[in-house]
Amino acid sequence: MATKYFYLTIAFIEMSRASVPITTMIALWVARLEIPTTGIIRAVSVTGIGSAIAAFGEVHLSSIGAFIVIANLTMESVRLAMTQYMLTGLDMHPLHGLKYIAPAASLTLGIGAILTELPIMLSNGSLETVQRYPILFLLAASLGLAVNILGMVIMKLSSATTLKVLSAVRGPIVVLSGVLLFAEGVTATEFVGYSMASSIRNV
């Protein structure tokens, strides 16, 4: 759901995504796929508090952007719960599961891109950028495939909550990149909140 990037900063989006382990844990519990332990509850609680503090400190908070982020987090958690059920409940191989998920995801993204992004890309000549740097786009697509395969393997061997906890490790790098490359503002409140949210991996 790339629309959120039009309304919020990259730093805030990454901070809000630190709360995904909480929504994922709840979705797995509701679906009766996983009973959270005390350690997991404690860890994701720290993440939730940190994410709330970070959200409170957002410099350019948009109600539309916040709504899109909440919708994104909800759908992401439901998707992960359904994927974990497919991999563990139905005992399906990760690559076999990806064979079912990839076509549906590609079709959905393709339709969305054609309806919302293609007209803009044609009008401002963005497709020329793809033609100028085909190797970079091919590399990005290949890395995306590798990430999806590894994610399926992690969910198969552990759980979707573990996958989202591990994803928190990359958050600080993305936030720092947004500050250094795009001069995005990060307030002291956001910094404290996100530091708490990222500390989940150490709890």
What domain range includes position 64? 2-202
| pTM to 2 decimal places | 0.66
Instruction: Specify the residue for token string 């399906």.
Output: 92
With the C-alpha atoms ordered 152, 157, 160, 161, is the resulting torsion angle positive or negative?
A: negative
pLDDT digits (tens, 9 = 90+) for 16-59: 776 777 888 888 889 888 888 887 788 777 777 776 676 665 55
Give how many domains the chain has, as a whole number: 1
Six-digit token pair at 55?
A: 């959200």
pLDDT at 175: 67
Which parts of the chain register pLDDT below 70? 1-12, 14-15, 18, 51-52, 54-61, 160-162, 164-176, 184-186, 190, 193-203
**Residue 203 CB contacts under 8 Å (≥ 6 apart), including other chains:** 39, 42, 43, 46
